C-alpha cells in the first residue's frame, strides 16, 4: 500500500476543524450588510494589535499591499533607496518599486538566511532612506543591529513579517520593532484568511494615520471626498476579518505546535548530514512558517521525498536579482555568494500545527535513508 501523503502545509485540517465556526462568522458578516471597514475589521485590528503588542494595526488587502502602504506611510518615495534581501518573495521588492523608490540588495547571513548587517552597512549611500528586513521562514532578522544602524544613519525600518507571526526578537514581537511591520494573511501563512488579506503594524501615530488613509484611496479621516494624497483601494473586507477573528485566538497554540514539531525534527534528524534551522538566542523565538534545512544534493533529496509522498519545496530556487523581471538591472550574482548557495541548498519540509510525531519521524527516516544509501555506495 502506498504511504499516506504528508503535505507541506495542511490547510484542510485546519479548515475542517473550524468549519462550522468559519461558516457562522462569514454568514454573520454577510448578514450584517457591512462590507468594508465595519465592526469585524475594527475588532480584528484591535485584537491583532493587542496580541502583537503594538499600538496600531491597519488591515489591508494582502501582505504585498501592506508592504507598499507601510513604505509609503513611512515617507518612502521616488529618489529613495531601500536596502533589502534578494532571498525573499517578489512582493518584498515590487512593493519598494511601486512607491517609486529603488531597492538595493545586501547579501544574507548564511546561518539565518536573513540580511547580513555588515553588508547592509556597505550598501548605505546618501540616498538610502530605509532598510527592509524579511523575517524569513519565521526567524527574526538581527533587529538589534539593524535598528542600531538605522538610528545611526536616520533610516526607517519596514519589517516584512509575512512569515513571522508571533516571532520575537529580544522579547518583542516582530512588526513592533521597526518603523512599521507588514503581515500577510495569505491562506498558507501561520494566520491565514480564506483569500487574500494582510495588515500594517506600527507604534507611530502619524505612520498609522497615513496608512489608514492610503489603503482607502488617500481619504481624509471622516471626509468622503477629500483626499490627502494618492492612495488606492487596498482594504481588507468584513468577511475575511470575521474569519481571521475565528482563527486569531488559536494562533499562540498553533505557534507552540509548530515549535514542538520543530523539536521533533531536531531530534529525528540528529546525526543526519543536513544543516538544521538556527537556534535563536535567549529571548528570541521563531514561528516556523516552514521548517527549512540545508542539504547537499538537495534536488535529488527532494525527488526522493516526493516519491515517498512527502511534500517539500524550495523557498526560493531563484534569487530576485536573477529573475527575468529584474534582468534589466544586470546585477552580478557574485555579489551575493551566500544567497547563491542558499538557493541551491535549502529545502522546506512539512510543517503545520496538526502534524504528528509519527509524520515527522517518517520524514526524518526518509532523509536518513537517502544519506545512508549514499554512504554505502
Ligand atoms: C516574505 C514575503 N513577503 C511578502 C509576501 C506577500 O504577501 P501576500 O501574498 O499576502 O501579498 C509574502 C507572501 O507570500 C512573503 O512570503
CA 184 – ligand 1 centroid, Å: 6
Which residues make up the CATH 3.40.640.10 domain(s) of the chain? 11-249
The correct CATH number of 251-375 out of 3.40.50.970, 3.90.1150.10, 3.20.20.10, 1.10.150.20 is 3.90.1150.10
Q: Which one of 113, 141, 186 would you pick to mutate in the ligand 1 pocket, going by the greatest count of ligand atoms within 8 A of its CB? A: 186
Can you tell me the mean pLDDT for 219-224? 91
Residue 165, C-beta contacts closer than 8 angstroms, at least 6 positions apart: 138, 183, 189, 190, 191, 251, 255, 287
CA 316 – ligand 1 centroid, Å: 13
Q: Which residues form ligand 1's pocket by a CB distance below 6 Å?
A: 62-64, 88-89, 91-92, 134, 160, 162-163, 184, 186, 196, 198
Residue 307 Cα distances to 166, 291, 302, 374, angstroms: 34, 20, 9, 17
Grid cell at residue 150: 538605522
pLDDT at 47: 98
pLDDT at 171: 96
Q: Say yes or no to pLDDT of 361 above 90.
A: yes
Nearest ligand 1 atom to alpha carbon 315: 16
Q: Give the pLDDT confidence of 275-285 residue by residue, as tens digits.
A: 999 999 999 99
CA 195 – ligand 1 centroid, Å: 13
d(CA 207, CA 308) in angstroms, rounded, equals 49
Band of residue 125 on the pLDDT scale cut at 50, 70, 90: very high
Can you tell me the mean pLDDT for 166-193? 98
Can you tell me the mean pLDDT for 305-318? 98
On average, the pLDDT of the chain sits at 97
Can you tell me the mean pLDDT for 27-33? 97
Can you tell me the mean pLDDT for 357-370? 98
Nearest ligand 1 atom to alpha carbon 188: 14
Walk across the sheet containing 180-184 and list its strands. 56-60, 198-202, 180-184, 156-160, 128-132, 81-84, 102-105
pLDDT at 1: 63
CA 49 – ligand 1 centroid, Å: 19
Q: Where are the alpha helices (DSSP H) in the chain?
A: 11-31, 39-52, 63-73, 90-98, 117-123, 143-153, 205-214, 238-247, 251-268, 298-307, 337-345, 357-375
What is the DSSP-derived secondary structure letter of residue 83? E
Nearest ligand 1 atom to alpha carbon 185: 10
CA 89 – ligand 1 centroid, Å: 6
d(CA 342, CA 317) in angstroms, rounded, equals 9
CA 138 – ligand 1 centroid, Å: 12
CA atoms within 13 A on the CB side of 131: 35
pLDDT at 97: 98
pLDDT at 376: 60
Can you tell me the mean pLDDT for 342-350? 98
pLDDT at 352: 98
3-state secondary structure of 129: strand
Closest CA to 289 of 193, 194, 356, 189: 189
Q: Which one of 71, 97, 184, 188 would you pick to mutate in the ligand 1 pocket, going by the greatest count of ligand atoms within 8 A of its CB? A: 184
pLDDT at 374: 67
Q: Give the pLDDT confidence of 49-104 residue by residue, as tens digits.
A: 999 999 999 999 999 999 999 999 999 999 999 999 999 999 999 999 999 999 99
Band of residue 227 on the pLDDT scale cut at 50, 70, 90: very high
pLDDT at 224: 86
Q: Which one of 59, 91, 235, 314 would you pick to mutate in the ligand 1 pocket, going by the greatest count of ligand atoms within 8 A of its CB? A: 91
Can you tell me the mean pLDDT for 153-158? 98
Q: What percent of the chain has pLDDT over 90?
A: 97
Closest CA to 354 of 277, 266, 254: 254
pLDDT at 3: 81
Which residues make up the CATH 3.90.1150.10 domain(s) of the chain? 251-375
Question: Could you write out the DSSP letters of every residue in 226-269?
Answer: -BSS---B-PPBHHHHHHHHHHGGGHHHHHHHHHHHHHHHHHHT
CATH number of 11-249: 3.40.640.10
Specify burial of residue 228 (Cβ count, 10 A radius: 0-12, 13-18, 19+): middle
Band of residue 157 on the pLDDT scale cut at 50, 70, 90: very high
d(CA 232, CA 209) in angstroms, rounded, equals 15
CA 136 – ligand 1 centroid, Å: 11
Amino acid at each position: 500500500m502506498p504511504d499516506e501523503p504528508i503535505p507541506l502545509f495542511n490547510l484542510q485540517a485546519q479548515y475542517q476543524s473550524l468549519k462550522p465556526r468559519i461558516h457562522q462568522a462569514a454568514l454573520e458578516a454577510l448578514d450584517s450588510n457591512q462590507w468594508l471597514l465595519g465592526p469585524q475589521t475594527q475588532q480584528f485590528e484591535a485584537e491583532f494589535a493587542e496580541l502583537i503588542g503594538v499600538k496600531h494595526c491597519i488591515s489591508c488587502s494582502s501582505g504585498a499591499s501592506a508592504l507598499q502602504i507601510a513604505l509609503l506611510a513611512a515617507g518612502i518615495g521616488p529618489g529613495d533607496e531601500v536596502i533589502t534581501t534578494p532571498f525573499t518573495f517578489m512582493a518584498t521588492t515590487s512593493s519598494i518599486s511601486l512607491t517609486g523608490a529603488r531597492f538595493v540588495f545586501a547579501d544574507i547571513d548564511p546561518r539565518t538566511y536573513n540580511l547580513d548587517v555588515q553588508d547592509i552597512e556597505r550598501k548605505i549611500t546618501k540616498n538610502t532612506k530605509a532598510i527592509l528586513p524579511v523575517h524569513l521562514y519565521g526567524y527574526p532578522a538581527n533587529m538589534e543591529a539593524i535598528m542600531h544602524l538605522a538610528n545611526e544613519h536616520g533610516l526607517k525600518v519596514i519589517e516584512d513579517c509575512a512569515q513571522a507571526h508571533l516571532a520575537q526578537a529580544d522579547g518583542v514581537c516582530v512588526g513592533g520593532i521597526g518603523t512599521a511591520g507588514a503581515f500577510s494573511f495569505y491562506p498558507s501563512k501561520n494566520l491565514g484568511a480564506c483569500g487574500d488579506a494582510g495588515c500594517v503594524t506600527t507604534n507611530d501615530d502619524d505612520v498609522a494615520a497615513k496608512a489608514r488613509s492610503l489603503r482607502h484611496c488617500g481619504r481624509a479621516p471622516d471626509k468622503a471626498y477629500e483626499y490627502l494624497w494618492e492612495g488606492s483601494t487596498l482594504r481588507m473586507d468584513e468577511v475575511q476579518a470575521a474569519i481571521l477573528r475565528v482563527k486569531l485566538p488559536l494562533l499562540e497554540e498553533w505557534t507552540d505546535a509548530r515549535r514542538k514539531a520543530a523539536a521533533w525534527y531536531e531530534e529525528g534528524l540528529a546525526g543526519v548530514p543536513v544543516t538544521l534551522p538556527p537556534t535563536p538566542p535567549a529571548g528570541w523565538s521563531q514561528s516556523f512558517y516552514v521548517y527549512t534545512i540545508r542539504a547537499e544534493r538537495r534536488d535529488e533529496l527532494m525527488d526522493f521525498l516526493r516519491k515517498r509522498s512527502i511534500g517539500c519545496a524550495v523557498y526560493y530556487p531563484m534569487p530576485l536579482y536573477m529573475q527575468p523581471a529584474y534582468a534589466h538591472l544586470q546585477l552580478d550574482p557574485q555579489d551575493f555568494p551566500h544567497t547563491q548557495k542558499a538557493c541551491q541548498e535549502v529545502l522546506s519540509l512539512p510543517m503545520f500545527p496538526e502534524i504528528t510525531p509519527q509524520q515527522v519521524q517518517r520524514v526524518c527516516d526518509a532523509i536518513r535513508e537517502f544519506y545512508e544509501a549514499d554512504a554505502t555506495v
